[in-house]
């Protein structure tokens, strides 16, 4: 019983710490000719066409695609850069 309580506690703690899942966003969509629909899960045009050609389909750019935001430098790395320039 005690072991089960400990495992439950570890599971709850891990669940609380984990980052929430986010929908993935890719720039290319495969439109399938055989009526299978659309799949917007491709990073490159070549990946998309390799999948779409099997059904006689085609690829288009994903209108809903938003590129990831550029990472901003941390305060500490900005200070290091500033110190190097001063020397």
pLDDT tens-place string over residues 37-69: 999 999 999 999 999 998 899 999 999 998 888
- Give first-to-last CA distance, the chain, whole Å: 63
Q: Tell me whether residue 77 is in a domain.
A: no
Read off the pLDDT of each residue in 23-27 and give the average, rounded to a whole number.
81
Judge whether residue 14 has pLDDT over 80: no
- Closest by CA position to 57, among listed 48, 65, 66, 68: 48
* Domain tally, the chain: 1
Q: Tell me whether residue 18 is in a domain.
A: no
Structural domain of 45: 25-67
Q: Tell me whether residue 43 is in a domain.
A: yes
Q: Tell me whether residue 34 is in a domain.
A: yes
Q: Tell me whether residue 56 is in a domain.
A: yes
Q: Tell me whether residue 7 is in a domain.
A: no
Q: Tell me whether residue 1 is in a domain.
A: no
Asked whether the whole model's pTM tops 0.85, one would answer: no
């Amino acid at each position: 019983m005690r072991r089960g309580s400990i495992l439950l506690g570890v599971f709850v703690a891990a669940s609380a710490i984990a980052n929430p899942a986010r929908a993935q966003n890719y720039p290319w969509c495969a439109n399938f000719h055989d009526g299978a629909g659309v799949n917007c899960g491709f990073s490159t045009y070549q990946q998309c066409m390799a999948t779409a050609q099997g059904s006689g389909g085609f690829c288009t750019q994903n209108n809903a695609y938003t590129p990831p935001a550029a990472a901003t430098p941390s305060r500490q790395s900005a200070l290091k850069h500033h110190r190097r320039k001063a020397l």
